[in-house]
Structure 1
């Protein structure tokens, strides 16, 4: 079965970029220890530093949903209340090229 891929776009308010970045970085270590987390990679846009993106892979949707309900994300939401322009989360499934095995 293919992994569930998550692409999450987080946009900080212009005056909150460093704060939001520090809070996002705090999510990485505990998330990597969670059941089902394959990878949890944070990126920052080179031209718009207020835009961050997580690229994640999870063994199952259920394990990702446990992550979304967990304390680290709840703490992030509380800490960054009022500091974000928005968050967009996309759930994706890898489509292998013809003859390529699905990951």
Structure 2
């Protein structure tokens, strides 16, 4: 099994920053308790408060996929529909 690093880059609409932030914060405790989650840290850009980034490490891609299929993620996507300008997820592997 190879550890998987995820970088999730989220930009909220300017009029929805605080709402999106609160919805993202709700994901942390649940996700950190999931099987396979090694790290799940939310960051907010110091110069652009609408820009958020999750830095995640998972035991395997399979366990990350379980996370992605979870109800809490579905609830987040439903709650923030139309409030997020962009959401890009990158799957990364450590190479050095």
Same fold? TM cut 0.5: yes
Q: Where do 4+ consecutive residues of structure 1 move more than 4 Å?
A: none
Q: 1:38-57 to 2 correspondence within 5 Å?
A: 38-57=38-57
The count of corresponding residues between Structure 1 and Structure 2 is 96
Indicate the SS of the match to 2:67.
Answer: helix
Provide the TM-score with structure 1 as the length reference: 0.91
- In structure 2, C-alpha distance between the alignment counterparts of 1:47 and 1:58, rounded to whole Å: 29
Which structure 2 segments of 5+ residues have no match?
A: none
- In structure 2, C-alpha distance between the alignment counterparts of 1:25 and 1:43, rounded to whole Å: 10
Q: What root-mean-square deviation, in Å, do the aligned CA atoms of Structure 1 and Structure 2 show?
A: 0.7
Larger Rg: 1
| Contact preservation (8 Å) 1:2, 1:94 | no
1:4-38 per-residue CA deviation (whole Å, 9 max, x = no partner) reads 00000011000000000000000000000100000
Map of 1:74 onto structure 2? 74
- In structure 1, C-alpha distance between the alignment counterparts of 2:5 and 2:84, rounded to whole Å: 23
Map of 1:99 onto structure 2? none
